[in-house]
Amino acid sequence: MSWMAWENVVAPIEYGGLGFGSLRDTNLAMLAKWWWRFKTEKDSLRRKVIWAIHFNSRSWNPIPAKLSISGPWKQIASVSSRLSPLGIDLRSAIKGSVRGGKEIAFWLDVWAAPQTFQVMFPSLFLLEKDKWSNVADRIRIDPTGVNWVWSWKRDLASVSEVSEFAHLTNILQSFSVTAGQDLWSWSLDPTGQFNISSIRKSLASLNRVQPDYVVEWNNWLPKKVGLVEWRAFKERLPTREALHARGITVQNLECILCREYSETCDHLLVS
């Protein structure tokens, strides 16, 4: 089976494939699930052990990982760099919804904007004393409402710092605090809950164009019969024309029945 034929096998049904799926896509999705669990299960023993082993106060990655320590967690932490070229940004896909603000990192989590404040305001992030501070650390509630408190290493001085601070305060103006535990949502699924199929679907549709016509599979029809129909539509049955296209020597391409047209699937089964 050629490379192109295998692509047809793993492609989703709506893109003209058999919908078997790719093992690579499944593996990446299962690794990404650990990012979701690391964010949402902060009281679990597993997360506490990983944090104790891999946390580095000088690194501000959303998933801590010490490169000097080999093991499966190193592969999990690097899955973001493998998904990013494929159009999936794990950092922005996991978004926090602030209630009490104690579980969401102010600079390092996505919560009030499409990206983290670390990425949006790099100059301010450099000035921050406590880069791991959570949202609750930056909030002071008094009779006048919600006030934001800051912990800079020095006063704002450069044009970029002042400009970024103005943009940041503009974003935070519409923010309101409610009681309760912080929530997390997964942006790649309408339900907001993480599931492996959401990543698989995104990866499976990457760089694919939905054809005007696809084979409709009937559950009443035996699978082997439906497979013959699918192969015929793809011109993958061993007709003389198909064998010739695969580089197999065929003396005559004419249909053995009529001797007038080339022997193709369309000619044999339809014309």
Is the separation of the CB atoms in 138 and 111 below 8 Å?
no
Residue 56 covered by a domain: yes
How far apart, in whole angstroms, are the C-alpha atoms of residue 119 and residue 113?
11
Structure tokens belonging to residue 51: 């944090």
8 and 42, same domain (yes or no): yes
Chain centroid to CA 47: 22
SS3 letters across 111-125: CCCCCCHHHHCHHHH
User: Residue 86's pLDDT is what?
Assistant: 85
Q: Cα dihedral sign for 118, 116, 93, 66?
A: positive
Structure tokens belonging to residue 256: 């053995």
Is the separation of the CB atoms in 140 and 108 below 8 Å?
no
Nearest to 171 by CA among 215, 111, 248, 221: 111
Is the separation of the CB atoms in 132 and 58 below 8 Å?
no
pTM of the model: 0.73
User: Residue 45's pLDDT is what?
Assistant: 92
25 and 157, same domain (yes or no): no
Domain residues for the domain of 228 are 223-269
The number of folded domains in the chain is 3
| 3 state SS of 23 | helix
User: Residue 162's pLDDT is what?
Assistant: 93
260 and 142, same domain (yes or no): no
79 and 200, same domain (yes or no): yes
145 and 206, same domain (yes or no): no
Chain centroid to CA 172: 27
Residue 94 covered by a domain: no
User: Residue 3's pLDDT is what?
Assistant: 40
Residue 186 covered by a domain: no
How far apart, in whole angstroms, are the C-alpha atoms of residue 137 and residue 131?
11
122 and 202, same domain (yes or no): no
Residue 28 covered by a domain: yes
Q: Where are the beta strands (DSSP E) in the chain?
A: 94-97, 139-142, 145-148, 183-186
Residue 187 covered by a domain: no
105 and 177, same domain (yes or no): yes
Is the separation of the CB atoms in 101 and 177 below 8 Å?
yes
User: Residue 180's pLDDT is what?
Assistant: 81
Nearest to 262 by CA among 233, 240, 244: 240
172 and 133, same domain (yes or no): yes
Residue 123 covered by a domain: yes
Q: What is the pLDDT along the chain (271 residues), one digit of tens a residue?
A: 444 477 777 777 777 777 777 888 889 999 999 999 998 888 889 889 998 998 887 777 888 888 788 888 888 888 888 898 888 888 889 999 988 888 899 999 999 899 999 999 999 999 999 888 999 888 887 777 778 899 999 999 899 999 999 999 999 887 777 778 889 999 988 899 998 988 888 888 777 777 777 777 787 888 888 888 888 887 888 888 888 888 888 888 888 888 888 888 888 888 7
Residues composing the chain = 271
47 and 174, same domain (yes or no): no
